[in-house]
Chains A and B, each alone.
Chain A
Amino acid sequence: KAGVTQTPRYLIKTRGQQVTLSCSPISGHRSVSWYQQTPGQGLQFLFEYFSETQRNKGNFPGRFSGRQFSNSRSEMNVSTLELGDSALYLCASSRVFELQETQYFGPGTRLLVL
């Protein structure tokens, strides 16, 4: 079974631009969560989607948004990029969320904002 895939793997943007990252969960997984990883803050939760609905959200500004499609694939968008948005963005999927299913992570998208 293929793992979680994320595209693109690397991205360079400039301040003020926007970016869209994509995540394809493991087949059969319906819950997708996004995390930001930086050297300064570690791994921080962004949001979680299940059945195309955002079920939980972390403490990030409204510039960070996401969505999930009917096939469980998810995208996250960051608008008006800032230098501090440079990070590794990780997507994780699990079958469901009600039973605390294990989350499996993708390789991440490394975003550099110049």
Chain B
Amino acid sequence: QKEVEQDPGPLSVPEGAIVSLNCTYSNSAFQYFMWYRQYSRKGPELLMYTYSSGNKEDGRFTAQVDKSSKYISLFIRDSQPSDSATYLCAIWAGGFKTIFGAGTRLFVKA
């Protein structure tokens, strides 16, 4: 079983839709979770990070962690064409190790 699993998509939605992006992980000891956005041929940029369980909101973006299910989510409200990118979940595994999901490609159609 992979330490982090993420559906690669692609996910295509109309402009204005609510988008839900998800990852599952295997190690219940993981506590620090991140989401990165990566535009084509660019480096990933950090969107949000959360510690332990619960929700964190930043503008149109909400990160959610459900430790009981080992499930993390990123919600995008009022999605825009400029949100079209690959979204990677990431989990700090201790020390210098961060585990990245394979990324979900999102297309928001105008």
A, B in one complex: no
Interface positions of A (Cβ within 8 A of B)? none
Residues of B with Cβ closer than 8 Å to A? none
